Homo-oligomer: A and B are copies of this chain.
Amino acid sequence: MSDFPKFVEFHEEGPREGFQAEKEIFPLQERVAFIEALSETGLKQIQVGSYVNPKMVPQMADTDDLFNAITKNDQVRYTALWLNQRGFDSALANSHVDVDGKIFLYTSDAFCRKNNGCSAQELNQKQLKWLDAYKENNIALESVYILTAFGCNIQGEVPIESLNGALSFVKAICESRELKTPKIILTDTMGWGNPLEVKRRIDAVRVLLPGARIGMHLHDTRGMGPANVYSSLEMGIDLFESSVAGLGGCPFGSQKNMQAAGNVCTEDMALMCEELGIDTGLNLDALIEAARMVERIIGRPLMGKAMHSGTIASLRK
Residues of A within 8 A of B (CB): 1, 151, 153, 155-157, 191-192, 194-197, 199, 220-227, 229-231, 252-255, 258-261, 265, 268-269, 271-272, 275-277, 292, 300-301, 303-306, 308-312, 314-317
A1 to B198, CA, bound (A): 12
Contacts of A223 in B (CB 8 A): 226, 265, 268-269, 271-272, 304-306
The reply to whether A276 and B196 contact each other, CB–CB distance below 8 Å, is: yes
A157, A220, A312 pick with most chain B CB within 10 angstroms: A312
The reply to whether B227 and A272 contact each other, CB–CB distance below 8 Å, is: yes
A203 to chain B, nearest CB (A): 12
A227 to B277, CA, bound (A): 15
The reply to whether A156 and B316 contact each other, CB–CB distance below 8 Å, is: yes
Q: Number of copies of this chain in the oligomer?
A: 2
The reply to whether A196 and B305 contact each other, CB–CB distance below 8 Å, is: no
Contacts of A258 in B (CB 8 A): 308-309
The reply to whether B308 and A260 contact each other, CB–CB distance below 8 Å, is: yes
Given contacts A196-B1, A259-B301, A315-B153, contact A254 B222 (CB under 8 A): no
Residue of B nearest to A275 (CB): B194
Residue of B nearest to A272 (CB): B224
The reply to whether A312 and B272 contact each other, CB–CB distance below 8 Å, is: no
Given contacts A196-B1, A272-B223, A272-B227, contact A155 B317 (CB under 8 A): yes
A42 to B167, CA, bound (A): 42
A155 to B226, CA, bound (A): 27
The reply to whether B309 and A260 contact each other, CB–CB distance below 8 Å, is: yes
A306 to chain B, nearest CB (A): 5
Q: Which of B153, B194, B312 contacts A192 (CB 8 A)?
A: B312
A103 to B253, CA, bound (A): 42
A263 to chain B, nearest CB (A): 12
A7 to B276, CA, bound (A): 28
A276 to chain B, nearest CB (A): 6
A309 to chain B, nearest CB (A): 4
A300 to B314, CA, bound (A): 29
A230, A309, A315 pick with most chain B CB within 10 angstroms: A309
Residue of B nearest to A110 (CB): B317
Q: Contacts A222-B272, A223-B305 given; 14 further ones with Cβ under 8 A?
A: A153-B315, A156-B315, A194-B272, A222-B268, A222-B305, A222-B309, A223-B268, A223-B271, A223-B304, A226-B227, A227-B272, A230-B231, A252-B309, A261-B305
